[in-house]
Structure 1
């Protein structure tokens, strides 16, 4: 296949999906991983897409760099604490829980009391904290992403597909009526998406700053999870999904 034809097909796929991984392009176009990576680099240089770790996003989907865990942990602390406490209190003895990496999900651990439940996480700090508190915890394998201290990658996805969770609790970067739940990194989005699909009940833990924001990569539609937040400032979101408010 000639380069121009490959470029055309890559751009067509990204226009439709907004984001794509290298492996998805390998399967859909039928070319090698090294060729995909070279093509993405060339298209990024031409300004036709954004090359990101593990794939690419649409040129219209660039929304800035992700903040570190340390920076996130200092924002909206009181609201995050209320959200975390509510979520911890709905866990039951027979639950098999997925706990996504994130500052609010990490706060949940401080409020957990249910020792008969089991916990699976991709958060390094989450796993350590759960272990220190005496909970039964499973840490999925894969590549460690430094900025969020989260485990990502194909090995992580394979691990998650083996589980069926009763409840899952997720952090997110953006919540939009148009784009759903979004996050900046392709690999982290894939982990969230895969874990969410394995949950009987999924909860998005989101303080007020997340509403109306859009990050580069879509994780799921709004109707695929219950949002747990503080005081909802825009009631129109209730048309799209169930929302639990935990205001003071």
Structure 2
């Protein structure tokens, strides 16, 4: 197969899947791994894809494997997260059993919560403390405490989560991709998010994410892109706006 033919097929595969590995391309094209790497390097130089370790991703998506601490995250996009938290809080109704995931975006939701006729469940120590000191009824999931994100994780936490049925749930994410879904850096936190989403009423699962999260891909997928409504601070690119259920500042009452 000629070089240009291989490159054409590589670009088609990346466009279709969002990302692809060298091993997948080796099988698809019946070419050596060194040939695949050379083609990817040339396409990367031409700006037609992004070369990453072990493969390539679409130029419209960026892989993000770094996990920031709560302190680091707490100073990023503060105004946007405040808007998102206030929008998300309007979705809580009297009588709800509410799950609130750990994270800084959900922390702004906690700050904005006002519904006292609801029960709140969280795997974040800081969220639980914030709520209980303000007179809300709170249940804190038990398990292992992770230092960097201050989240409760692990098998004990999973078993605790599975006892609940949440009428509404709010979750953070590190990346939003049409093809790769919602992703996060840590497999243990991803498992917590996945189980909590499964325990939440399908029509009332909300992902809280500022505009910078669109197009990012982190290490571990925890939900498909259609599994939740995204609460965000600004309308994303058309390919997202036309494909996703969104709650934006100008229309907080009904998801698109």
Structure-1-length-normalised TM-score: 0.74
Q: Is the Cα–Cα contact under 8 Å of residues 230 and 247 in structure 2 kept in the other structure?
A: yes
Secondary structure of the corresponding residue to residue 139 of structure 2: strand
Match of 1:210 among 210, 213, 220: 213
Aligned to 2:153: 152
Are 2:223 and 1:220 equivalent residues in the alignment? yes
Aligned to 2:233: 230
Q: Cα deviation per residue 1:46-74 (whole Å; 9 max; x = unaligned)? A: xxxxxxxxxxxx96697432011111111
Secondary structure of the corresponding residue to residue 194 of structure 1: helix
Distance in 2 between residues matched to 1:65 and 1:233, nearest whole Å: 23
Are 2:221 and 1:242 equivalent residues in the alignment? no
Structure 1 runs not aligned, ≥5 long: 1-57
Aligned to 1:190: 191
Secondary structure of the corresponding residue to residue 130 of structure 1: helix
Structure-2-length-normalised TM-score: 0.71
Aligned to 2:126: 125
Q: Cα deviation per residue 1:156-194 (whole Å; 9 max; x = unaligned)? A: 111111100010000110001111000000000000000
Distance in 2 between residues matched to 1:173 and 1:247, nearest whole Å: 24
Secondary structure of the corresponding residue to residue 216 of structure 2: coil
- Mapping for residues 76-225 of structure 1, pairs under 5 Å: 76-200=77-201, 201-225=204-228
Considering only CA atoms, is the larger Rg found in Structure 1 or Structure 2? 2
Count of residue correspondences: 192
Where in structure 1 do 4 or more consecutive aligned residues deviate above 4 Å? 58-62
Secondary structure of the corresponding residue to residue 223 of structure 1: coil
Aligned to 1:72: 73
Structure 2 runs not aligned, ≥5 long: 1-52, 58-62, 252-256
Q: Is the Cα–Cα contact under 8 Å of residues 235 and 241 in structure 2 kept in the other structure?
A: no
